[in-house]
Amino acid sequence: MTAETSAKRKNDAATLIKPSREEAEAAVRTLIRWAGDDPVREGLKGTPDRVVRAYEEFYSGYEADPVDILSRTFEETDGYDEMVVLRDIRLESNCEHHMVPILGKAHVAYLPNKRVVGISKLARVVEIYSRRLQIQEKLTSQIANCINDVLHPKGVAVVIEAAHQCMTTRGVRKPGVTMVTSRMLGAFRDDQSTRREFLAMIGNTAHGSLSNA
Ligand SMILES: [Zn+2]
């Protein structure tokens, strides 16, 4: 592969050549052998097929476009211009370094600028970006930036609290540790009272450190 093609691939995931299902199943059999087991024994025979189907769910976010999801907005809001907060959105992602689960919750808020979007759409945006290979910092930014770019609100805030199984079940093995990331844009970044209102609404004093960040 020339440097040019490799750069293009890096920039445009859509140009990646997707392997066949058979190739994907063969790769799972290889990993089973790598783990030390026999992929043709009774209990494991159907495993490659199940793993590949599970991957279709875990990584379904590559097939969906969050911009599309947010494009349908409502302008009849009778002047509603207060914060919209969706809290405790269940978050299931996979870390891009170890391909093991990142589990937690996301809180998403925005300050409408004439237009609002159906709240299920916000949860859907979280889901689309989660169902890709991720690191929590990037996931947090992508959700906030997408809402900001499409809705052009007066501000956006995203806080994610999650446990990383690559840290709890392997490596340093520290169960019970959660990582908190946040991205604040517009009024949530510039206006202390907006930020405080949001943090109070998601109701967690553990975020005290974010109020002055
Ligand atoms: Zn990891």
- CATH 3.30.1130.10 spans which residues of the chain? 66-205
What φ, ψ does residue 194 adopt, rounded to 5°?
A: -65, -45
57 is catalytic: no
134 is catalytic: no
- Ligand 1: distance of its center to the CA of 164 in Å? 7
Confidence band of 210 (pLDDT split at 50, 70, 90): low
pTM assigned to the model: 0.87
What are the residues facing 84 on neighbouring strands? 110
166 is catalytic: yes
CATH topology of domain 66-205: GTP Cyclohydrolase I, domain 2 (3.30.1130)
Handedness of CA 28, 29, 30, 36 (dihedral sign): positive
92, 152, 165, 166: which one is catalytic? 166
- pLDDT tens by residue, 142-188: 999 999 999 999 999 999 999 999 988 888 888 889 999 999 999 99
Closest-CA residue to 144 (of 190, 201, 182): 182
- pLDDT tens by residue, 33-54: 999 999 999 999 999 999 999 9
CA distances from 173 to 35, 95, 168, 176 (A): 20, 16, 4, 10
